[in-house]
Amino acid sequence: MKSRHSRIYAYMALGGATLAVVFHVCSFLGLSLPPGAMILHLGIFLLVIPAAKKALSSKHIGLRDLLRRIPRLSTVILIVAAFYAPAQFGYRSLKLGAAFPEERDGRYQLVSRGSVVQELSADEYAYANALDARMWSAYWFCAYWCLFVYFQWTEAALEFMERIPPHTGSRAE
Say if 173 falls within a structural domain. no
pLDDT in tens, 102-118: 998 889 999 998 889 99
**Confidence at residue 173, expressed as pLDDT on a 0 to 100 scale:** 46
Rounded to two decimals, what is the model's pTM? 0.81
The answer on pLDDT for 172 being more than 70 is no
CA-nearest of 61, 51, 62, 42 to 5 is: 51
Tell me how far apart the alpha carbons of residues 163 and 166 are, in angstroms, rounded to a whole number: 9
Domain assignment of residue 13, given as a range? 4-84+132-163
Structural domain contains residue 95: no
**pLDDT given for residue 28 in this prediction:** 92
Q: How far apart are CA 165 and CA 64, in angstroms?
A: 17
Total count of domains within the chain: 1
With respect to residue 90, please indicate whether it lies within any of the assigned structural domains: no
- Which ranges in the chain belong to alpha helices (H)? 4-28, 39-57, 63-69, 72-96, 122-163
pLDDT digits (tens, 9 = 90+) for 64-100: 767 777 888 988 999 999 999 999 999 999 999 889 9
pLDDT (tens digit per residue) in 115-168: 899 999 999 999 999 999 999 999 999 999 999 998 888 766 555 555 555 555
Q: Is residue 99 part of a domain?
A: no
Report if residue 96 sits inside a domain: no
In a domain, 89, yes or no: no
Please write the tens of the pLDDT for every residue from 33-72: 888 898 999 999 999 999 888 877 766 666 676 777 788 8
Distance (Å) of CA 111 to CA 48, 83, 102, 156: 32, 28, 7, 48
Kindly state whether residue 49 falls inside one of the protein's structural domains. yes
92 falls within a domain: no
